[in-house]
Amino acid sequence: MPRIDPLTFGPQVCAVHTEDAGAGREWLVTDGLGGWASGTVSGLRTRPEHALLTVAGPGRTPHVALAALDLTVTLPTGTKVPLYTHAWESGVLDPAGHRFLETFTLAAGLPRWRWRIGDVVIERELAMRPGLAVVHRVLSAPGPVGLSVAAMCTWREAAGSRRADGPGLRIERVADGVLVENAYRLAGPGWQPAGQWHMGARTGDRAEDLWLAGTFGKQAAAGESLEISAWAGNLADRPPAPPVVLAAARERAHRLVTAAKAEGYAGTLALAADTFIVQAADGPVMVDGYPWGGRPASLAAYEGLFLDTGRADEGRELLRALVDRPADALDFPLWLVHAVDRHVTRTGDSDLARALGVPLGRLLRQSLTGDGPLAVDPADGLLALAPGPDRPRVGKLVEINALWVNALAALGDLLAEGGRVDTEPRDRHALAWESFRRRFPAPEGWLHDLVEGPAAPYPLGAGTQHDDPTLRPYQLLGWSLPHAPMRGSAGRTVRAAGESLLTPVGLRTLAPDEYGYDGAGPEQGLVRPWLIGPYADACAATGHPVDGLLDGLAAHLTEWGVGSVGEAAHGDAPHRAVGRPFDALAVAEMLRVETRYAP
């Protein structure tokens, strides 16, 4: 069995509430159906999405259900010690149970808290397949202690809030627990119903009221535990006992790491990758990150999430479905061709090439006809992006055209692999390849970010065109893709990217010496960790060293989303993490680079 190294934090992280310490590190456990449990290492809820049970699914808006299970310990002396923490609208942090945290550990993907009150040590561990299973253990105590766990409930959209002056929660008493909103159920020993609002709980910049549905409780000596279950879906179908769920989760984690053939932190990444693969009624779906808003992940994440984790069978099922149900993302068809090409190349699956080659060609043609934003310029065979909302960069974009050249070559290979003779992709590729190499090189020594774009600032210069030599990382796709148009040429762009864009946690979206750089805007220098993948591939393609590129990101596994990689960081040191702490594309590309280039 492979060994999965645990990630552990002590009281100097867990017991401090600042953005840079315990409250700034987040954990995540998913149920494989789109639902999750998440929070901070210290226990303080700092996002509206932080909860122990969030119910979701593909095509369904995620809803927060069980906000918290607040644990209070009654010591042998009779003293009651709350081990939970809430922030309130008043600015008060009360109670401050985080002060008793001795350690937080993420082991086999499962979070574990350990509190110490003198010679009394209490531990909590949880898992989520199926349903939420929470086990509170008394590890050490001079005598029996009382364990009381208050169920703080709600039912609202994950990014929203619910107040007491709105509709009340529908509560129904059931055996050993409660049914809430006919949507989820809680069960455990010693249930005592309550029924009152706790007003003004703060989660970041939001506030909400939480319904105390009741408490679970028991007297427990050292070695004994209190176990609680919470689940949605088929409410009459009670999940296995919490210790069984925890044991199954650990076993599943070892199977995932074994399938990925992962060692070291690659095992942690393999478990992180699993959180982004959701099982829908009609097959697997990739989600883009957590907190999840129901959006699918970019297909650029396919290779890392499926092929580098030993899940090619699930991946094949996904690719077949996506050809029939294409997403409306601008670059979706280009990345889909790339994903199928990588799957066939790495697995030798000629049957998939035979099945999908023609439909992929049809999908590419359909995406470039009609009123879509992308169109082929018949003069040079390159793709031009028309102006539109949320398109700060328009014209012939370097990454879109690198993907286009790559897709045409890949499509030709897939058709040939499937026994089809079709010269159109090869002819289109030859024209686009030659045009790319002629049009995109800039006098500065790297590639234009775009050519034939509107004069800046748009639309004041409407009617005129310009070539933009701004140094951005997207041009690395010109070398990194398997059929990249710049392969075989000198790598001055790669050197320039390393000098100006590379940081310990990924690449900036704009060089610091470029006009408009601020380190924080999406296109003004913000760091995107996923771009380490194209950079590593471009380095390998041009003879630059790849060793050590992931060292900073490996350390980042303990800095933001514990055991995972976030979506962004500030462009200036110390590169403070921002945005979602769990990002599918960043995890996928880090895992792919580690798998491909590890010594």
Q: Is 80 exceeded by the pLDDT of residue 53? A: yes
Tell me the pLDDT band of 598, cut-offs 50, 70 and 90.
confident
Helix segments in 325-369, DSSP class H? 332-347, 350-367
| Alpha carbon distances (Å) from 28 to 103, 154, 271, 442, 547 | 17, 19, 11, 44, 30
Q: Is 50 exceeded by the pLDDT of residue 20? A: no
Which of 306, 529, 328, 337 is closest to 417 using CA atoms? 337
Average pLDDT over residues 44-73: 92
Output the CA torsion 112→116→120→126 (10° steps). Answer: -10
Residues 27 and 41: beta-carbon distance below 8 Å: yes
Query: What pLDDT shows up at residue 507?
Result: 98
Tell me the pLDDT band of 334, cut-offs 50, 70 and 90.
very high
Residues 6+ apart with CB under 8 A from 360: 323, 333, 336, 337, 340, 411, 414
Per DSSP, 398 falls in state H
CA pair distance 476, 344, nearest whole angstrom? 24
User: Which residues are registered as beta bridge partners of 287?
Assistant: 296
User: Which residues are registered as beta bridge partners of 384?
Assistant: 375
Provide the angle, in degrees to the nearest 10, between the axes of the packed helices 312-324 and 350-367.
30
| Alpha carbon distances (Å) from 393 to 12, 389, 474 | 45, 11, 12
Q: What is the pLDDT of residues 425-452, one digit of tens each?
A: 899 999 999 999 999 999 999 999 999 9
pTM equals 0.96
Quickly tell me which residue has 């995540």 as its tokens: 28
Q: Is 90 exceeded by the pLDDT of residue 460? A: no
Side-chain half-sphere CA neighbours of 256 within 13 A: 22
Q: What is the pLDDT of residues 92-124, one digit of tens each?
A: 999 999 999 999 999 999 999 999 999 999 999
What is the three-state SS of 117-165?
A: ECCEEEEEEEECCCCEEEEEEEEECCCCEEEEEEEEEEEEECCCCCCCC
Q: Is 80 exceeded by the pLDDT of residue 384? A: yes
Q: What is the pLDDT of residues 501-533, one digit of tens each?
A: 999 999 999 999 999 999 999 999 999 999 999
Which of 405, 407, 398, 397 is closest to 433 using CA atoms? 405
What structural domains and CATH numbers belong to the chain?
35-253 (2.70.98), 356-489 (no CATH)
Side-chain half-sphere CA neighbours of 430 within 13 A: 4
Q: What is the pLDDT of residues 260-311, one digit of tens each?
A: 999 889 999 999 999 999 998 889 999 999 998 778 899 999 999 999 999 9
Secondary structure class of 55 (helix, strand, coil): strand
User: Which residues are registered as beta bridge partners of 277?
Assistant: 286
Q: Average pLDDT over the chain, rounded to whole?
A: 93
CA pair distance 115, 83, nearest whole angstrom? 8
- The amino acid present at 111, given as its one-letter code, is P
Secondary structure class of 554 (helix, strand, coil): helix
Q: pLDDT > 90: what percent of the chain?
A: 84
Query: What pLDDT shows up at residue 520?
Result: 96
What size, in residues, is the chain? 599
Average pLDDT over residues 38-43: 95
Q: What is the pLDDT of residues 168-212, one digit of tens each?
A: 899 999 989 999 999 999 999 999 999 999 999 999 889 999 999
User: Which residues are registered as beta bridge partners of 192?
Assistant: 215
Average pLDDT over residues 15-31: 77
- The amino acid present at 539, given as its one-letter code, is C
